Amino acid sequence: MAVSLVHPLYVDRYVLYALAGLALLAGTRLAAARGWWPWLLVAALLVPFGWWSLWLRTPESRKDDVLAVAAAVRERARPGDAVLFLPSRRREWLLSSPDLYGSLRDLALDRTPAASHSLQGTELPTERIWTRLVDAPRVVALMDPADQPLDPYPREAVKRQTLASHFERCSVDEVRGARIAVYARPGHCADR
């Protein structure tokens, strides 16, 4: 845990259960200890762990910032715009902003997360994604950072290929852990 303050070695939620055992063990040892040095050790450990615990609750501790993504989409989206998640697991970025997400038309969504009992919902077959995408005049695409590998799945490939062949990229903006791109029909980027 101490090394993870400098270089993360694990995801804390996967080892959180072990912290209760560590606290119990440390508490029993501390209760049995004599003198002032164990209390000094506890105080010395509480400072970095307290700082680390507070830092974990900040947006800077996350690899992406869903509120910043939602704010960026809110700035760029117009009423009637379509939204496309590349890859589909990025749908989680807007689920925490239901007012914004509800105003956009999700082109690839078949069943919502609530209806499908899943975190990201289910997507349409590739043909239907293509049909909806080519009918859209303007698309706000939420994408992984540029250094991430592209998902090889057919649904993701058809999204990328259709955007490249039928649309013009008007803008791309980066926020922590995400890219927000606006696509429009060729020659219609200025209509923003």
Which of the four pLDDT bands, split at 50, 70 and 90, describes residue 101? confident
- Position 60 scores a pLDDT of 76
Distances (CA, A) of 92 to 65, 95, 99, 129, 171: 11, 5, 14, 19, 22
User: What average pLDDT does range 151-180 have in this prediction?
Assistant: 94
Angle at 25 between CA 30 and CA 62, to 5 degrees: 110
Residue 38 reports pLDDT greater than 90: no
Q: Tell me the average pLDDT across 156-176.
A: 94
- Beta-carbon contacts of 135 under 8 Å, excluding residues fewer than 6 positions away, are none
Predicted confidence at residue 12, as pLDDT, reads 65
Query: Which of 169 and 60 is assigned the larger pLDDT?
Result: 169
Where are the domains positioned within the chain? 3-61, 66-191
Percent of the chain at pLDDT > 90 equals: 40
Q: Do the strands 178-184 and 138-143 form a parallel or antiparallel pair, or are they unpaired?
A: antiparallel
Instruction: Return the H-helix or E-strand segment holding 181.
Output: strand 178-184
Interatomic CA distance for residues 121 and 90, integer angstroms? 11
The SS3 assignment for 100 reads helix
Alpha-carbon distance 119 to 114, whole Å? Answer: 8
At 13 the pLDDT is 66
Architecture of the 66-191 domain? 3-Layer(aba) Sandwich (3.40)
Dist CA 151 CA 86 (whole Å): 8
pLDDT at 52 over 90: no
| pLDDT of 158 higher than 80 | yes
Measured between its terminal Cα atoms, the distance across the chain in Å is 49
Dihedral angle at the C-alpha atoms of 149, 155, 159, 160, nearest 10 degrees?
30
pTM over 0.75: no
pLDDT band at 14 (very low <50, low <70, confident <90, very high): low
